[in-house]
Chain A
Amino acid sequence: MSPATSTNSRTPTNPPTPRPTPAEPRSYHFPRFEQRRLANGLRLVVAPVTKLPLVTAVALVEAGATQEPEGKEGVATLTAQMLLEGAAGLDGAALADRFERIGASVEAYADWDVAAVTLSAMNTRLPEALALVRDLLRAPTFPEREVARLRDERLAELLQQLAEPRGLADEQFSHAVYEPRARYSMPNDGEAHTVRTITGDDVRAFYAARYQPSAVTLVFAGDVTTDQVMALAEPLFGDWKGEPTSDRRAAADAAQPGRLLRVVAKGDAPQSEVRVGHVGLPRRTPDYFSVVVMNAVLGGLFSSRINLNLRETHGYTYGAFSAFDWRRGAGPFVVNTAVKSDVTGDAVREILGEIERIQREEIGEDELTLATSYLDGVFPIRYETTGAIAGALASLIIHGLPEDYYDRYRERVRSVTTADVLRAAREHLHPDRLRVVVVGDPAVVTAPLSEVTGMSPDMVAAADVEADA
């Protein structure tokens, strides 16, 4: 029954207008960019974008978490953060002050593949800001007191994560998917038992081995020209000498075999954090576009199968999504949701059912076009900001993608077929290797999860996680 019958003047007298048809699309191309190299091997990538007087600059360094020495997991992040804690005669407070007085934002972090210093500033402030970036990349001082402070802050964050169901579920999922010695089994910032051992000497050694000019790329996007960038960069970075040394370690993405059900106990939890997945694919997989489209249909969009099923049909959750985490190595494929405790088993059954269904039969033509027309159409919207453009160029460098990658992206998305999607689902989803990790109330979730998955659960108490940390 509709309540509309009971209302009055709010209903327009005219019938609704018919759904409009789109006008002709206007053409778009990803911002043009140029690549240069200094004599010492340092690379530069510049995309002039003149909409607003802003510049984003990103210094990428081959110094990510997968390049860390074993046992010192977390040193990549700590080293990157320490760049901001003292350089060229300035302490951390003074450095922050120099950037902030000119309205510039600077951040330093490491991800799986690289370390990065990102700068955003008004273009008139770029010379000053870039000179500071030069200081912190080339002349960091790594004061012991700040090493200890940042290490303690990371330990505090890890401790806090034990009480944070989402973070705990992510961490436990990585442990469940990868071999213990594989770098991807641990958080990218390291774990308590590794972070605790990191000293100032470890940071200095990692810096000396990895922060060398031929391992650095400077990416610029915004209101600046290639000539201006070259004129700034040559005097700041041209006389930087040195070569990186590398320290090979075990494969970052080695998987644990078989299926698993793990319940991480959080008594009285009103909701269960659910992760279902397995080792995915490296970013450079030739099937990238088929897999992206397949995932969009499965769980990558609001209108995807998993979200419509769990949220809109059943009301189990606020949202449910699947994703491939694209790294140089094979990052995880994961379905991620949080559901009301008493429907945890039902929700996992639906997730397993959707994975099985997309492997069993071809998706409908309308599902394919929803995914491809979304990915095609949204492309320009993704690159509205200097930060997003710099990020796209960084991704090009990190993964060694061809220079015309963004020019060809849309046609490659459009060329994916329903048969490609079925093949991608059959080759790259692995029900026989699914790892199911749930952080929730064991009294409520354990029996239904065992029944739905046909596995007896591996139980983890929060206290064990803590001891492990």
Chain B
Amino acid sequence: MEIPIETFTLDNGLRVVLSEDHTAPLVAVNLWYHVGSANERPGRTGFAHLFEHMLFQGSESVGANEHFELIQRAGGTLNGSTWLDRTNYFETVPSNQLELALWLEANRMGYLLPAMTQQKLDTQRDVVQNERRWSMDNQPYGTWWEKLPALCFPMDHPFHHSLIGSMADLDAASLEDIAHFFTTYYTPDNAVLSIAGDFDPAAARAMVERQFGPIPRGGNKPPLPDMQLPTTFGEPLREVVPDDVMLPRLFLAFRSPVFGSASYYAASVAGAILGLRKGSRLHRALVRERQVAAEAQAFTYDLTKGSDLLVVDVTGRPETSSDTLESAVNAEIDRLLQEGVTQSEVERAVALIETDLVVALQSAGDRADRLSMFTTYFNDPQLVNVQSDRYRAVTAEQVNAFVRERLVPENRASLLYVPRDSDVAPASSDLAMAETP
């Protein structure tokens, strides 16, 4: 199964990916800017995400919140999201409204600043601070989003600091910061535009040229610092977090090969063997057999620079102490390290991943997002069509090579949440600094 892909690049450097599919009269527009929290300067944590909010506050021809209203009035859905190394904006609209979505994206890429005001910034700062309270501060375990990267990346690494940002840094953000960030990063040559669904390629190309063509390229994007990291942490890292929770929960992270690298796929399969669905090792051993855990799963961050993280996430049962939980999870990792995986386990994992890859291509929005992702990271949208092959080529030997190299004790970072009144001594949260080279 292969999705059709066409690409072209505008003179201003905007890379464009088209993928036709006429099964329904709808079309997805997806724009990735190659900027995320990693690009923030000191004292401005959370700025990339706050900036994402400001992109919905209008531009020269669009009023505050009118972007939302115009798309919804057109019968479309939309949103944006910010990640460590990218920010994306997307709409799915009835196919006759394609140019409206392109116009809105182009208007804010070209003409954002005339619409920026102090009052809008102040309101969105309040909104984002409430987002922080809602998703992290008033949510059991919610702080893992910032504590895990802080534990796993050295202090001065671009992935170390909080994506949502500290309240103080959010307070400090100014209109000058907006202008600077916009001028530096929100340029056509730092973006990828993908269009998937029901459109005529020649007409779509003309629309893209009309709407985005006049926007001048940037070119002053400062390079990120060297992000290379050793393959392991060098020693076990551990942080205990007393929280308003009833059940202990362990996030156990391993440095792993970056997304897209040859060994990434073996790491991803190892993760699936450990924690994808009920047939996975952790679910079978800890949830079903020993009954020390209520839930168990594993995932990768899919970072493309420095180091990826493979994370095992296990929540204990009420009667399970945090010590028992931690040692039970580590015992399963040790067992994997000693015994290795079998061909049969690899087959189960790959079969599930393959179906998931197809399921993920069902909606035009998801398809466009993947095309933008592969183009932003690797300048190659065709990679979307070879993911199944990459997974199918993974052997038990490759998975075991990954396991032997990366699941070792000196490559384990434990972030352990414990009920606040339990008596596990909290370790220093500065442990992450210990391994800074």
Question: Interface on A for B, CB 8 Å cutoff?
Answer: 1-4, 6-14, 16-20, 22-28, 51-54, 84, 92-93, 96-97, 99-105, 120-122, 149, 152-153, 155-157, 159-160, 162-166, 269-271, 273, 301-303, 308, 311-318, 338-340, 369-370, 373-381, 383-386
Contact = CB atoms under 8 A, between A and B. Distances in A.
Interface in B162-197: 175-176, 178-179, 182-183, 187
A302 B294 contact: no
Given A155-B318, A378-B76, 6 more contacts: A10-B216, A27-B25, A54-B358, A103-B352, A103-B354, A380-B25
Nearest to B367: A384
Interface string B92-124: 111111111011001100110111111000111
A297 to B, nearest CB: 12
Given A10-B216, A23-B96, A101-B348, A163 B279 contact: no
B413 interface: no
Contact of B352 (A13, A100, A157): A100
Contacts of A155: 318
Contacts, number: 264
The residue in A3, A25, A312 that gathers the most chain B C-beta atoms within 10 A of its C-beta is A3
Interface in B97-153: 97-100, 102-103, 106-107, 110-111, 113-118, 122-131, 133-135, 137-140
8 contacts: A17-B210, A51-B23, A53-B1, A54-B355, A165-B139, A374-B73, A377-B97, A381-B92
B21 interface: yes
Interface stretch (B225-233, B240-248, B368-376, B429-437): B240-248
Contacts of B284: 93
Interface string B200-216: 00000001001100111
A209 B339 CA distance: 47
Given A16-B107, A303-B65, A311 B358 contact: no
B362 A51 contact: yes
Given A2-B117, A102-B351, A162 B75 contact: no
B113 A3 contact: yes
B382 interface: no
Nearest to A338: B134
Nearest to A85: B288
Contacts of A9: 216
Interface string B245-263: 1110000000000000000
B106 A149 contact: no
Contacts of A23: 96, 98-99
A314 B61 CA distance: 24
A4 B317 contact: no
A4 B112 CA distance: 8
A121 B355 contact: yes
A26 B363 contact: no
Contacts of A380: 24-26, 94
A338 B139 CA distance: 11
Contacts of B354: 103, 122
Contacts of A316: 126, 130
B410 interface: no
B235 interface: no
B73 A373 contact: yes
A151 B317 CA distance: 12
B138 A159 contact: no
B408 interface: no
Nearest to B200: A23
A24 B60 CA distance: 27
Contact of B122 (A96, A315, A379, A381): A315
B198 interface: yes
B203 to A, nearest CB: 9
Interface string B351-367: 11011001101111000
Given A101-B347, A104-B355, A19 B100 contact: yes
Given A16-B111, A120-B355, A373-B73, A318 B94 contact: no
Contact of B75 (A153, A165, A373): A373
A384 B362 contact: yes
The residue in B135, B244, B354 that gathers the most chain A C-beta atoms within 10 A of its C-beta is B244
Contacts of A377: 74-76, 93-94, 97
A17 B182 contact: no
B25 A96 contact: no
B218 interface: yes
Interface string B327-363: 0000000000000000000011001101100110111
A51 B351 contact: no
A27 B26 CA distance: 11
B404 interface: no
Nearest to A27: B25
A338 B136 CA distance: 13
A340 B133 contact: yes
Interface in B34-84: 59-61, 64-65, 68-70, 72-77
Contacts of B140: 160, 163-164
B218 A10 contact: yes
A17 B117 contact: no
B61 A3 contact: no
B244 A163 contact: yes
Given A51-B362, A308-B65, A315 B123 contact: yes
Nearest to B249: A160
B75 A378 contact: yes
The residue in B175, B215, B278, B363 that gathers the most chain A C-beta atoms within 10 A of its C-beta is B278
Contact of A100 (B116, B277, B291): B277
Given A4-B114, A27-B25, A302-B68, A381 B77 contact: yes
Contact of B359 (A28, A120, A163): A120
